[in-house]
């Protein structure tokens, strides 16, 4: 079943005794960086999957359970076989076909999954609307997985296009952040029950996923610090006449009225119960307020897609925008001093998840892919794009690298908000501009949910656009 090199390379790892790091180095297998990127491999055999490197296909009962390692660049010792760089698993004959945003469906991710699992892959990049539409219009048969935003997932769940996923088959979930397991977690919304209500079939017993969290974040205002020379601390800045004609807002009938409502509620400008799911009267009040601001020339542009938001800020056409993550990170890459605000009213939170098609013929491979995405390597990759992984398994990887800033490990930067006492030269930041994970998630305005009456949102949003 396995390639000759691979079998030779791994045979003695599972000869009934546990090998320590030194022994591995002696074998010549563990070669520095090779192991750094290949640490996790064995998530492919969970619950009916395939043991990649087990002799005779039998699991070694004495091998330790997998756990995240603090030494990510070393050979791992969990019972699912790691792969060194240059090695690849024998083709399994199975494949996964997935569809998602460009953030998660990337050739380098799929290649790594192929290498580790032996499963073939094909991935299609699409917008959120396009991917859901394709599935609902009968195109679901072309895929095994869907990587989608949680607030759209009900469309797939309610039409029985996706299946519940048993939690025991998702091994790294043992290291899940409490955000997706506990009502006591930072950011949990007791009114909507988000995110638990969207993650679990039954949030109380948590035995089956509706949607397995894949990556998540919370958004705020992106602004040109170099041109404004002040810190923005409220969503209200986007509506403040002081910045008239220097603001862009997102053309979205749900998200934009959502943060405006959150601002109005926090400032006592309107009596709004739930800014993520408003009544008709509440929506009316928000839209009228927005129309007033629009007529006053507040908005220079209404942005439509991610790249447009980056260009608007980077070119200086606008100075402030309600910016998705990681718009600002991409602006910074153009050597422009741009920051995310830490708004008094809180961030807007969201998560993307993995769903498996009900009738997929590649269930085991799809489960393997879900495991792969929750393992540290994948989590570390998306962390460098500014996202969080729902498990803590990425930490080991991120503590070993400092691709973001030579002063910090990537974990310090992305999860802990940086720790340097002095700003970098010419740069007003000492780490992630909105701070550490706990600080950010302790300040959530609402989750991006699907409201009860999206039609009314759309109708009134059209009124705003045409006003």
> What mask, x for binding another protein by CB under 8 A, covers residues 308 to 337?
x--x---xxx--------------------
Question: Which of residues 79 and 293 has its CB atom nearest to another protein in the complex?
Answer: 293
Residues 6+ apart with CB under 8 A from 268: none
Binding residues for another protein, how many (CB under 8 A)? 38
- Least Cβ distance, residue 100 to another protein (angstroms): 17
Question: Which of residues 38 and 149 has its CB atom nearest to another protein in the complex?
Answer: 149
Question: DSSP 3-state assignment of 166?
Answer: strand
Binding to another protein by residue 306, rule CB under 8 A? no
Strand partners for 322: 221
Stretch that binds another protein, among 14-22, 132-140, 164-172, 207-215 (CB under 8 A): 132-140
- Least Cβ distance, residue 223 to another protein (angstroms): 16
- Least Cβ distance, residue 7 to another protein (angstroms): 49
d(CA 399, CA 251): 38
Binding to another protein by residue 159, rule CB under 8 A? yes
Binding to another protein by residue 133, rule CB under 8 A? yes
193-232 positions binding another protein, by CB under 8 A: none
Instruction: Read off the tokens for 63.
Output: 């091998």
Residue among 75, 70, 66 nearest 27 (CA): 75
Strand partners for 147: 354
Binding to another protein by residue 450, rule CB under 8 A? yes
Options 294, 344, 358, 402; binder of another protein; rule CB under 8 A: 294
State how far the alpha carbon of 253 is from the alpha carbons of 286, 445, 448, in Å. 12, 18, 12
Binding to another protein by residue 304, rule CB under 8 A? yes
Stretch that binds another protein, among 327-335, 386-394, 425-433, 450-458 (CB under 8 A): 450-458
Question: DSSP 3-state assignment of 124?
Answer: strand
Dump the DSSP string for 67-116.
---S-TTSPP-SSSPP--TT--PPP-S-EEEEEE-TTT--HHHHHHHHHH
Binding to another protein by residue 299, rule CB under 8 A? yes
d(CA 151, CA 154): 7
* Backbone dihedral region for residue 56 (phi beyond 0: left; psi -120 to 50: alpha; all else: beta): left
> What mask, x for binding another protein by CB under 8 A, covers residues 253 to 272?
xx------------------
Binding site for another protein (CB under 8 A): 129, 132-133, 136-137, 154-155, 158-159, 245, 251-254, 294, 299-304, 308, 311, 315-317, 450, 454-455, 457-459, 461-463, 465-467
């Amino acid at each position: 079943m396995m390639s000759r090199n691979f079998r030779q390379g791994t045979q003695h790892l599972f000869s009934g005794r546990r090998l320590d790091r030194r022994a591995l180095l002696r074998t010549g297998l563990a070669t520095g960086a090779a192991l750094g990127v290949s640490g996790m491999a064995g998530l492919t055999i969970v619950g009916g999957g395939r043991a990649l490197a087990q002799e005779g296909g039998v699991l070694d009962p004495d091998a330790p359970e997998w756990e995240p390692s603090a030494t990510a660049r070393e050979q791992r010792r969990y019972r699912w076989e790691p792969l060194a760089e240059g090695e690849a698993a024998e083709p399994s004959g199975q494949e996964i076909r997935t569809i998602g945003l460009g953030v998660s469906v990337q050739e380098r991710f799929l290649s790594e999954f192929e290498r580790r699992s032996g499963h073939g892959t094909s991935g299609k990049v699409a917008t959120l609307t396009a991917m859901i539409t394709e599935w609902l219009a009968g195109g679901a048969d072309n895929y095994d997985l869907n990587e989608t935003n949680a607030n759209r997932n009900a469309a797939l769940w309610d039409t029985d296009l996706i299946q519940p996923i048993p939690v025991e088959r998702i091994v790294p979930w043992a290291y899940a952040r409490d955000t997706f397991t506990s009502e006591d977690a930072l950011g949990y919304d007791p009114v909507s029950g988000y995110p638990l209500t969207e993650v679990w079939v039954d949030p109380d017993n948590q035995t089956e996923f509706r949607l397995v969290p894949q990556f998540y974040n919370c958004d705020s205002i992106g602004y040109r610090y170099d041109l404004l020379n002040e810190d923005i601390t409220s969503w209200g800045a986007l509506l403040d006449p002081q910045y008239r004609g220097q603001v862009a807002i997102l053309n979205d009938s749900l998200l934009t009225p959502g943060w405006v409502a959150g601002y109005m509620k926090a400032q006592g400008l309107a009596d709004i119960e739930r800014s993520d799911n408003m009544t008709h009267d509440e929506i009316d009040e928000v839209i009228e307020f927005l129309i007033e601001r629009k007529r006053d020339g507040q908005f220079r542009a209404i942005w439509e897609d991610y790249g447009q938001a980056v260009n608007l800020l980077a070119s200086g056409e606008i100075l402030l925008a309600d910016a998705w993550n990681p718009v600002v990170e991409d602006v910074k890459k153009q050597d422009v001093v741009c920051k995310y605000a830490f708004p008094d009213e809180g961030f807007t939170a969201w998560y993307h998840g993995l769903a498996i098609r009900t009738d997929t013929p590649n269930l085991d491979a799809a489960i393997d892919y879900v495991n792969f995405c929750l393992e540290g390597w994948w989590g570390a990759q998306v962390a460098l794009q500014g996202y969080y992984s729902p498990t803590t398994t990425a930490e080991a990887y991120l503590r070993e690298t400092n691709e973001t800033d030579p002063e910090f490990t990537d974990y310090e930067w992305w999860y802990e908000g940086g720790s340097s006492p002095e700003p970098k030269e010419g740069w007003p930041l000492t780490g992630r501009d909105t701070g550490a994970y706990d600080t950010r998630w302790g300040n959530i305005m609402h989750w991006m949910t699907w409201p009860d009456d999206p039609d009314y949102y759309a109708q009134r949003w059209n009124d705003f656009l045409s006003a």
